Amino acid sequence: MVLVVGGTKGGSGKTLLATNLTVLRAVEGHDVLLIDADEQGSAMDFTRQRQQRRDGEANYTAIQTREADVAVQVRRMAPKYGDIIIDVGGRDTASQRAALAVADRLLIPFSPTSVDLWTADTVVVLLKEARTFNPHLHASAIINKAFSRGADNAETAAILQEYPDHWTYLDTLIGNRKAFSNAFGGGQAVMEYHPKDTKAIREVRALYRYIYDTK
Amino acid sequence: MCMAVTRKPKDEQALQGDWQEDAAFQYYLNKGGSAAKGQQEAPKDVRFTLHIPGALCQELDHIRDARPLKISRHQWVLEAILEKIQREGGQGT
């Protein structure tokens, strides 16, 4: 499966989800290629950090490329890797468009804030255009960086469910937990991080099951 | 003949086969911005020493003194530059 973690808003946690899903998929025995199509290069930084921690072995392959070459690399690498996960930057870029033209699935994280939700319509436009070239692109929206209290998560969920023609809303939240950022900084997925944050692990596993166990 | 020195390939040459011929796909791609362009930094401030005739500076100071709220020479000169840029069709941003 070729999975893009995308959207048009920066800071929604795309790289964090992409790297966690990559590690979890690899740990489960799959041959995974992580493509960093964001010029910030945070997924590659994560991979380098991970390699240093693990004597050079990240347990997946990572490359960095951009714009049209993202699509070229996916086409070239898809027969060699069971899974490709693409992290794109938080803007409507040629790199994201190229990725969407060749992907099976798009995962769109939204933080439960107005400023994130206001990008929903621009994502819809992007999806419509991408589907003219890739009609089978399946999209899912998820709340990332969910708050631990308050009505914001529920209000965000209600708005994200207003787009059934464009994406499936995933009724599982990823919390705004320190364990995610601490693990990321050390080149680890949250399930590898100590002290264990069982809620964070449970959330990522639920997302993983949704992505890879549902057709 | 095989050339030892070649030009740097253009971005669009990264696309091969059917895509390279597809103008609609190129249009779709190009509607997305380049991250590099979007992340360009704003130009840094420039410092230089300004030499102006003493009489001109005196006149400048008199005008500043006549203001109800005083501003520095530096601020006054910046305002003057801005006004001139706008008069000559610039944005003065």
Instruction: For A167-185, write each residue's pLDDT tens digit.
Output: 999 999 999 999 999 999 9
**Could you give the ipTM of this predicted complex?**
0.85
User: Using the beta-carbon criterion (under 8 Å), do B31 and A71 form an inter-chain contact?
Assistant: no
* Chain A residues inside the 8 Å CB shell of B12: 68
| Partner residue facing B32 (CB), from A38, A97, A132 | A97
pTM of the model: 0.77
- Quick check: A92 contacting B, CB < 8 Å? yes
Cis peptide bond upstream of A195, omega within 30: yes
Q: What is the residue-level pLDDT of chain B in tens, covering all 93 positions?
A: 556 766 655 554 445 556 655 778 888 888 888 755 444 566 778 888 888 999 999 999 999 998 887 888 888 888 888 888 888 887 766
Q: What is the residue-level pLDDT of chain A in tens, covering all 215 positions?
A: 999 999 998 889 999 999 999 999 999 999 999 999 998 999 999 999 999 999 999 999 999 999 999 999 999 999 999 899 999 988 999 999 999 999 999 999 999 999 889 999 999 999 999 999 999 999 999 999 999 998 999 999 999 999 999 999 999 999 999 999 999 999 999 999 999 999 999 999 999 999 998 65
Q: What is the pLDDT of residue B40?
A: 52
- Choose among A1, A36, A32, A33: nearest CA to A15: A36
Residue A114 backbone phi and psi in degrees, to 5: -60, -45
Please compute, for residue A26, the number of CA atoms within 13 A of its CA located in the half-sphere on the CB side.
Answer: 21
B29-43 burial string, b = 16+ CB within 10 Å, else e? beebbbbeeeeeeee
Q: What is the pLDDT of residue B38?
A: 45
CA-based Rg of chain A, rounded to a whole angstrom?
16
How far, in Å, CA of B63 to CA of A193, rounded? 66
DSSP run (H or E) holding A159: helix A152-160
- A90 within 8 A of A7, measured Cβ to Cβ: yes
User: Using the beta-carbon criterion (under 8 Å), do B38 and A91 form an inter-chain contact?
Assistant: yes
| Partner residue facing B36 (CB), from A39, A69, A132 | A39
* Chain A residues inside the 8 Å CB shell of B35: 38-40, 66, 89, 91, 93, 95
